[in-house]
Each structure stands twice: as C-alpha cells, then as structure tokens.
C-alpha cells in the first residue's frame, strides 16, 4: 500500500470515529499520526470535528449532581415500591399513592423515559423523571437503587431533583458569594418562602432587617432583583451538568407551556423583567405578563423567584437524565469556593484553601485540570506558611468567558487583580504551570508590582519552538497550533467527551510517558480527583481552552519585561523538552533554576516537597 493510500485510510478512519460519535476513540487510536491526518485532509477533519462537537450529550458527556440533591426509587414489575432512598421518601412518600407518579410510570413503560412535575408531601413541587433500566442506569442513582433496577423483570426507576431543599448546598452557594450568616439565611429562606415577610419570620428577624440583608446579598451576588438572586444561587447549587439544550423545549415538555409562553418564561427565568422580555421578543408587555401568568398557573407557582427555581431544577434534571453518565459530586471539598463580580459584570470563580493569615500563593491551573489541588500539596503548603488560592481563568470552570479571544490574557490578568482586591491582598506569590504560562506572564507584565516570588513550573514556550514531546498531549498541541482554525471545534468536541471511562483512558495515555505520573492513577482516589477536576473545568464552556490555545497559535512570545521580586524556573526531569529548557534559561537569565528528577506533568502531586523548597529557596 502506498504512503498516500495509508494516509487516506488513516484520515477516513479518524473522520469515521468523529462523525460516528466516538471522537475520543479516534484520537486515542490515531494520536501518533494526528498531525499527518489533519495535514492530509484539514477541511474534511474540520467538518467532522464540527459535527462531533454538536453530538448530543448522551454520546459522551458526564454530568455531576451535588450530593443530597437527588432522591431515587425503583418500582417492581408488579407496581410495588421495591426500593426508595431516604431523600425520596422525605420528598414524595410512596409513589404508588400518587396519581402523578403512576402516570409517569405508565408513560416510562411505553416511552422509556419521561419527566414531569410532582407534588411533594409538604405541598411543594419538584421535577421528577421515570425511566426503564436502559435509560436509568446512567442516572445518578444510589448503589441500592441501581442494584434493585438491575434485577430481572421490567422495572422503572424514579428520580427527583431539588437542590433548593438542601441547606448544605445553599450554604455553599452563599459562602461562594461571600454572604454574611444573616444574608445567607435570608437568601436560603427566599428559595422557597412565598415572600420576604415569610423569609424574615423563618430567620427570626424584622422585615426591615431582612430587606437590608437581602439588598446586601443581591449586591454581592451581582443580582438586580430577588428572582435574579435565586437564579444565581440555584445555578451554583445545581452542580456541573451537561448542557441543558433548548430550555424552551423543557418548559413546554414539563410545564405544558405553549411555544410563546415558553419563549417568554425562558427569558424571564434568565433574569429579565417582563418589560425587558417584551422588548427582546418584540411584543407588548401586557402580552408577556399574560403569558407568564399562564405559566404560573401551569406550574403551580405564583412568584417570579419560584418560577426561576423550578425552571433551573427542571432543566438541570433533564440534563442529568440525558447525559451519557451522571454521578454524585461530594459537597464538602477542601478549600473555600468563592465567586466575585468584576466591574464589567463578569463572574470570576476561585478556591481559597486558607488560612487567611498565610502567605498568599496563587496557583495557576492548566488547560484541563488544576481547579483542585491535591490534599498532600495543600497540607505541605499550609505547613510551610502558605495560603494557596486557585483562580479560574476566563472561560474555565465557573468563570465567565472573556468578551473575545483576543482579550483573554488581559482579562485574565485583570480578573486576578479583582480577586486580590476582593480578598484584600496587596501582593501574592505565584506558581505558574505549563499551559498557564501566557496568562501568568501577562499578569506579571501588567501588574508585576503585585507579585512577590514567581515560580514557573515547566513553562510552555512559544509555538515556534520544536515541541517533539512523545505524548498524547504534545501531539494534540502541535496539531492545534499548526491548524488554529480547528481549535474551537476541537475544544468543544473534547468537552463533550468527558465521560469517566473516556477520561480514564485519555489520562492513562497522556500520563504514560513518565513513571511517576503513571503511578498516580493506581490510586483510585487520585484518579477520581483528576477526572472530576477535568469534568468540572469544561462542564460549562470550552471558551477558555480555545482562547488560550489560540494565543499560542497566533504567535505568542513572552513579554519583554515583567515584574515580580524574584523568579525561579522549575523543570521536571521527565517532562520538559530540551529546546524549551534552553529557551527559558535564556529568557530568564537571572531566575533561579531547580530541576526535579523523575517528576512529570503532575509534579505537585508527586513531588510537593521539592516544589515547596523551590518556593522557599
């Protein structure tokens, strides 16, 4: 077979994987020849990638449901309640006594999966879903529900989703916005209290005290009205979920809204006023108010904030039950999650590992992992007197994207200044790793007076340097840098391929070149942490990945000058490229140099003591 024929066959096989809903398999199979495949047929690959990026979430997307937010049950072939989680019983009691549940069960037996609104034991309304084994086994069910569902016979699983009823989730959201205890209690009470008076009574304060606390809570959360505060709270409380798709369709399917009512309600739930909705849709305000009134009647709620809450929960449940995989995310993670609002109205997320009296250290995350720091690294940093803080850059995790790709580095730098201001920190040390190099040095160039010690860990050089690192990561990077027109589609395609089994295979292949990295995956807890980190980093957007890859593709070079009291270059013995090391030694002639033999991509997991020694040195 000729070389041209071989290239053609490889390209056709790769495109087949992409268009067939198996992009991860295609990349893992062809990564050693990825550059050649794309070079052979860039247009065909681009079209296949764009198609793969549009594939439904059920093809490979994993969604994370917050712990406590779901309650499941299983109905036996004879129609009896075979098993029910405690949360499900607290919410619904026994489903065989509910006409609404009986209807869902009958429809699920015919259609496979169906959703609806179910009244709770206390008179509230919760979105619920019923499904047969073929559908429900990918839901976030408890081990008990899953075991019961897998028994012989045609069984039906039931799933309710209501994070608004979980105080721990409300507390976490309130903490993220920096609310005081009183503001947090008012915000939580407002999630289901009929009005502010009732919320004040539940909290045990006067109406004026509650009103003042609500105003402060809205200001901190960046909300203009109480329904908008509820929406922002619910957005955080609902977890990292698959794209919910067409919210209007969800409103019509679950609420029975007409297309016009669904259009109005969807925009209303996004935080617009009735007048703003009317302007956006080009209709009269009176028409919108009539449509919203109809939706209120169909959902059984009569307040804007209640419609917002129910819409978020219903849309999220749809995402959870349509994703390829749904798992439970623990509530209590080490580190305090925070959200701050910038002057231009964007949201910036961070995790502050404390303690508040420690020496601040901003740790820059990578392209796909780094939101969470390994406990062993955090413990040793604390012991050394540091306060590690991870700020999610624009378009990563929960941080809003920059207004444009071109502004990514400037916005990332200004976001970090906003975070330092919110935390009342004048100066910080920085640990800048691999893919974060351009963003980290942009901060150093714009705000160098805010940096104490800067540490560059395996910094990424300009794309013009020879990068022949024999790894999956290196192959993908080289391909994207040579074909920047593919970056956005490639990023979105990968974002929708974050199912646990796919990420596990990709991680193992990516970390295979370095024994120290590869050994990490032998620990189930570490492997699970890396996978959850990856899933959360891109659960909402691939904009950050695309923007920062584009920075390199368009010829980034380090700034000519940048501040900082002193710098240290740290190179992992099993990771860095010789050409890269030479470049950075010339670029930073006055920087200290540390090499960590045997370390790889995840040096802060495998060699925390050596990294901290470099920070202190």
Q: For the segment 502-556, what is each residue's pLDDT rounded down to a tens digit?
A: 889 888 888 888 899 999 999 999 999 999 899 888 888 899 999 999 999 888 9
Q: How far, in whole angstroms, is CA 494 from its chain's centroid? A: 14
Lowest mean pLDDT among 176-185, 252-261, 365-374, 385-394: 252-261
Assign 384 a pLDDT band (cuts: 50, 70, 90): very high
Number of H helices, E strands in the chain: 30, 15
Using alpha carbons only, what angle is made at residue 196 by residues 190 and 199, rounded to the nearest 5 degrees?
55
Section 478-485 average pLDDT: 81
| Helix (H/G/I), strand (E/B), else coil: 85 | coil
Q: Which residue has the higher pLDDT, 459 or 60?
A: 459
Residue partners of 143: CB distance under 8 A and separation at least 6: none
Tokens of 222: 């960046």
Assign 30 a pLDDT band (cuts: 50, 70, 90): confident
Assign 451 a pLDDT band (cuts: 50, 70, 90): very high
Instruction: State the residue for tokens 């209501």.
Output: 162
Calculate the average pLDDT of the chain. 88
pLDDT of residue 466: 52
pLDDT of residue 133: 93
Section 598-614 average pLDDT: 94
Phi, psi (rounded to 5 degrees) for 401? -70, 160
Q: Point out which residues pair with 339 in neighbouring strands.
A: 349
Q: Are residues 57 and 139 in contact, defined by beta-carbon separation less than 8 angstroms? A: no
pLDDT at 242 over 80: no
Phi, psi (rounded to 5 degrees) for 194? -65, -25
Section 291-320 average pLDDT: 87
First to last CA, the chain: 58
Lowest mean pLDDT among 154-158, 421-425, 573-577: 573-577
**Nearest-angstrom CA–CA distance, 45 and 591:** 42
Give 58's DSSP letter. Answer: G
For residue 275, how many other CB atoms are within 10 A of its CB?
A: 11
Crossing angle for the helix pair 285-299 and 247-255, nearest 10 degrees? 50
pLDDT of residue 31: 75
- The side-by-side arrangement of strands in the sheet containing 428-433 is 336-341, 347-352, 386-391, 359-363, 428-433, 451-457, 566-572, 592-596
Q: Find the DSSP H helices in 300-456.
A: 304-322, 375-383, 408-422, 437-446
| Helix (H/G/I), strand (E/B), else coil: 36 | helix
pLDDT of residue 330: 79
| pLDDT > 70: percent of the chain | 95
pLDDT of residue 333: 63
pLDDT of residue 1: 42
Q: 336, exposed or middle or buried, with CB in 10 Å at 0-12, 13-18, 19+?
A: middle
Summarised one tens digit per residue, pLDDT across range 210-235 is 999 999 999 999 998 888 899 899 98
Q: Which residue has the higher pLDDT, 533 or 20?
A: 533
Assign 183 a pLDDT band (cuts: 50, 70, 90): very high
Q: 70, exposed or middle or buried, with CB in 10 Å at 0-12, 13-18, 19+?
A: buried
Q: Which residue has the higher pLDDT, 350 or 238?
A: 350
**Nearest-angstrom CA–CA distance, 96 and 94:** 6
The b-or-e profile of 223-240 (16+ CB within 10 A means b, else e) is: beebbbbbbbbbbbbbbb
Tokens of 555: 């010829």
pLDDT at 432 over 80: yes
pLDDT of residue 273: 87
Lowest mean pLDDT among 11-25, 110-124, 158-172, 329-343: 11-25
pLDDT at 56 over 70: no
**Nearest-angstrom CA–CA distance, 520 and 211:** 51
Q: Which residue has the higher pLDDT, 424 or 3?
A: 424
pLDDT at 467 over 60: no
pLDDT at 577 over 70: no
> By 3-state DSSP, what share of the chain in percent is helix, strand and coil, each rounded to 5?
55, 15, 30
Tokens of 47: 């079209």
Give 525's DSSP letter. Answer: H
Pairing outcome for strands 325-329 and 62-66? parallel
**Nearest-angstrom CA–CA distance, 611 and 89:** 50
Q: Find the DSSP H helices in 222-344.
A: 226-237, 247-255, 259-269, 274-281, 285-299, 304-322
CA distance to 218, 375, 539, per residue, from 518 (Å): 46, 19, 25
pLDDT of residue 4: 65
CA dihedral 13, 16, 20, 22 (to 10 degrees): 40
Q: How far, in whole angstroms, is CA 241 from its chain's centroid? A: 8
pLDDT at 2 over 60: no
pLDDT at 103 over 80: yes
Among 396, 317, 277, CA closest to 125: 317
CA distance to 72, 328, 561, per residue, from 331 (Å): 18, 9, 43
pLDDT at 199 over 90: yes
Q: Are residues 397 and 391 in contact, defined by beta-carbon separation less than 8 angstroms? A: no
């Amino acid at each position: 077979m000729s070389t041209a024929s071989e290239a053609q066959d490889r390209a056709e096989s790769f495109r087949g994987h992409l268009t067939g809903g198996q992009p991860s398999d295609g990349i893992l199979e062809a990564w050693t020849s990825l550059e050649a495949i794309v070079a052979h047929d860039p247009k065909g690959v681009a079209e296949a990638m764009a198609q793969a990026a549009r594939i439904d979430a059920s093809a490979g997307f994993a969604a994370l449901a917050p712990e406590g937010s779901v309650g499941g049950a299983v109905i036996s072939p004879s129609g009896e309640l075979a098993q029910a989680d405690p949360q499900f019983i607290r919410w619904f009691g026994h489903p065989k006594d509910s006409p609404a549940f009986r209807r869902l069960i009958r429809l699920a037996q015919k259609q496979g999966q169906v959703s609806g609104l179910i009244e709770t034991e206390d008179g509230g309304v919760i979105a619920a879903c019923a499904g047969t084994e073929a559908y429900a086994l990918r839901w976030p069910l408890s081990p008990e529900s899953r075991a019961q569902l897998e028994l012989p016979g045609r069984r039906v699983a039931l799933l309710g989703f209501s994070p608004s009823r979980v105080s721990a989730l409300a507390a976490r959201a309130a903490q993220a916005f920096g609310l005081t205890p009183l503001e947090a209690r008012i915000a939580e009470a407002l999630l289901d209290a009929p009005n502010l008076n009732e919320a004040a009574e539940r909290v045990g304060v006067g109406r004026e005290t509650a009103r003042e606390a609500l105003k402060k809570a809205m200001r901190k959360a960046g909300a203009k009205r109480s329904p908008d505060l509820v929406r922002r709270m619910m957005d955080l409380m609902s977890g990292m979920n698959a794209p919910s798709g067409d919210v209007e369709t969800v409103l019509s399917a679950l609420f029975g809204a007409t297309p016009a009512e669904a259009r109005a309600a969807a925009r209303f739930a996004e935080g617009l006023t009735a007048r703003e909705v009317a302007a956006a849709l080009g209709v009269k305000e009176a028409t919108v108010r009539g449509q919203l009134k109809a939706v209120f009647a169909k959902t059984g709620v009569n307040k804007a904030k209640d419609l917002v809450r129910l819409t978020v929960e219903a849309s999220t449940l749809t995402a959870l039950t349509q994703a390829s995989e749904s798992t439970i995310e623990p509530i209590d993670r080490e580190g305090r999650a925070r959200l701050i609002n910038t002057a231009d109205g964007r949201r910036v997320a961070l995790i502050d590992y404390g303690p508040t009296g420690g020496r601040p250290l901003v740790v820059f995350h990578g392209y796909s992992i780094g939101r969470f720091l390994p406990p062993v690294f955090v413990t040793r940093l604390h012991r050394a007197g540091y306060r590690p803080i991870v700020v999610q850059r624009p378009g990563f995790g929960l941080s809003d994207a920059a207004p444009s790709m071109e502004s990514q580095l400037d916005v990332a730098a200004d976001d970090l200044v906003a975070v330092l201001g919110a935390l009342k920190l004048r100066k910080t040390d920085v640990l800048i790793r691999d893919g974060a190099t351009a963003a980290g040095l942009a901060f150093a160039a714009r705000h160098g007076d805010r940096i104490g010690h800067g540490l560059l860990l395996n910094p990424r050089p300009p794309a013009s340097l020879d990068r022949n690192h024999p790894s999956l990561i290196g192959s993908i990077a080289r391909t994207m840098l040579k074909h920047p027109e593919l970056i956005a589609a490639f990023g979105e395609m990968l974002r929708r391929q974050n199912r646990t089994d796919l990420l596990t295979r990709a991680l193992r292949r990516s970390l295979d070149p370095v024994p120290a990295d590869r050994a990490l995956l032998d620990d189930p807890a570490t492997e699970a942490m890396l996978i959850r980190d990856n899933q959360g980093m891109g659960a909402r957007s691939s904009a950050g990945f695309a923007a920062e890859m584009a920075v390199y593709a368009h010829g980034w070079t380090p700034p000519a000058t940048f501040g900082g009291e002193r710098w240290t270059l740290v190179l992992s013995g099993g990771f860095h490229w010789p050409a890269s090391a030479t470049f950075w030694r010339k670029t930073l002639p006055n920087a200290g140099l540390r090499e960590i033999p045997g370390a790889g991509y995840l040096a802060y997991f495998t060699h925390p003591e050596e990294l901290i020694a470099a920070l202190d040195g």
